[in-house]
Amino acid sequence: MLGLDMQVPCAHGAGTCSFYSCPIAHSKWFFSTHLSPDPGEDAGLTKSIGVSSFNNKQLEKILNKPGLKYKPICNQVECHPYLSQRKLLDFCKSHDIVLVAYAALGSQRLKEWVNLGLPVLLEDPVLCPIAKKHKQTPALVALLFQTQRGVVVLAKSYNKKRIKENIQVLDFELTPEDMKATNGINRNIRYYEFLP
């Protein structure tokens, strides 16, 4: 699939931010590309568009664009049991946009990016007993929680054993009570605090 990923819906140009300095990734696009002609219109190469870290209002702005040719098919946002993004998920579902979760395991907790004072998701006192009950790990509970509510998850690992473990996510099922309990630990905690 030929796709286009528009990351971060705020305007800043190349070189103004150490991480988001790539001109391609840049969200001047949100204003200059997505709200004016459709990307790829000239070359006719665009098949699908994905966006990242867009909220309801920003998605709405795109969707309401007169003559919109390429509706975003997915929106990648921070999402995990501590930041369940219920409203955004409902909005995305109602517009056939797939919500893709990053930091689904509570992030890599790199001190450069994340406030290390925030609680560790995979040590949560609600997730851990659910994992124990199913003879699984808190990581798998956090991932399965997402897939069972229709969220696509990204799970990053540099460790062969954990990569294999994460693939086992569909080998068990959370009960409605497990889902309810996991939903209940939402605290609107955003590990990547610098992102919109």
Q: Which residues bind ligand NAP (CB under 6 A)?
A: 7, 52-53, 76, 102-108, 122, 137, 139, 154-159, 162, 165-166, 192, 195
Contact between 158 and 108 under an 8 Å Cβ cutoff? The reply is no
What whole-number distance in Å separates Cα of residue 160 and Cα of residue 163?
Answer: 5
Instruction: Tell the smallest beta-carbon distance from residue 180 to ligand NAP (Å).
Output: 23
Region of 148 on the Ramachandran plot (φ > 0 left; ψ -120 to 50 alpha; else beta): alpha
Instruction: Tell the smallest beta-carbon distance from residue 79 to ligand NAP (Å).
Output: 10
Q: Where in the chain does DSSP place strands (E)?
A: 3-7, 48-52, 72-78, 98-102, 152-153
What whole-number distance in Å separates Cα of residue 4 and Cα of residue 25?
Answer: 9
Closer CB to ligand NAP, residue 13 or residue 37?
13
Using CB atoms within 10 Å of the CB of residue 193, give its burial: 0 to 12 exposed, 13 to 18 middle, 19+ buried. exposed
Closer CB to ligand NAP, residue 37 or residue 172?
172
| Residue of 193, 194, 191 whose CA lies nearest to 80 | 191
What whole-number distance in Å separates Cα of residue 147 and Cα of residue 160?
Answer: 22
Instruction: Tell the smallest beta-carbon distance from residue 8 to ligand NAP (Å).
Output: 6
Instruction: Tell the smallest beta-carbon distance from residue 66 to ligand NAP (Å).
Output: 28
Instruction: Tell the smallest beta-carbon distance from residue 153 to ligand NAP (Å).
Output: 8
Closer CB to ligand NAP, residue 43 or residue 110?
110
Tokens linked to 24: 């391609």
Closer CB to ligand NAP, residue 100 or residue 181?
100
Closer CB to ligand NAP, residue 91 or residue 102?
102
Residue type, 45: L
Instruction: Tell the smallest beta-carbon distance from residue 135 to ligand NAP (Å).
Output: 14
Closer CB to ligand NAP, residue 37 or residue 163?
163
